[in-house]
Amino acid sequence: MGRQLVDLTEAECWDLLGTRELARIAWTTHTGPQILPVNYVTHDGALWLRTTAHSSIAEQVDESQVAMEVDELDPSSHVGWSIVLRGRAEALYHEEDVPAEVKALRSWAAGVRPLWLQVKAEVLTGKRISSE
């Protein structure tokens, strides 16, 4: 049986993003590309994450273009999906600026994470590889 690679619709992408908590965020630094795993939530056309105010991600991505990737792949069956969201990151320093639906997000990393990062989707693409 052959596998097919199909494009996901924007609605399918958002549905799948809502089923996961872990992404990778990528941005360009003065020394080259940087990628970090982060946990996130979705809300109103954006992915949200938390960090410390003095982390490298906070210092380098505010008002910058970033990419975030979320996927689910099964190495034994070779099926799954992958979604890439590209957009501009915005740092929010005041919790009153954060939507109530997002405030329940707790960072997987230990320590206080008072800074919120919102990445609004400018480009959202996804692919699914299936066994049919």
Exposure of 125 in the CB half-sphere (CA atoms within 13 A):
5
Is pLDDT above 90 for 21? yes
Q: What is the pLDDT of residue 1?
A: 56
Q: What is the pLDDT of residues 64-104, one digit of tens each?
A: 899 999 999 999 988 999 999 999 999 998 888 999 999 88
Fold designation for 4-126: Pnp Oxidase; Chain A (2.30.110)
- Return d(Cα 17, Cα 21) in angstroms, integer: 8
Q: What is the pLDDT of residue 47?
A: 97
Q: What is the pLDDT of residues 33-73, one digit of tens each?
A: 999 999 999 999 999 999 888 888 888 887 889 999 999 99
pTM of full prediction above 0.85: yes
- Return d(Cα 102, Cα 124) in angstroms, integer: 20
- Return d(Cα 108, Cα 30) in angstroms, integer: 27
Tokens representing 106? 């707790």
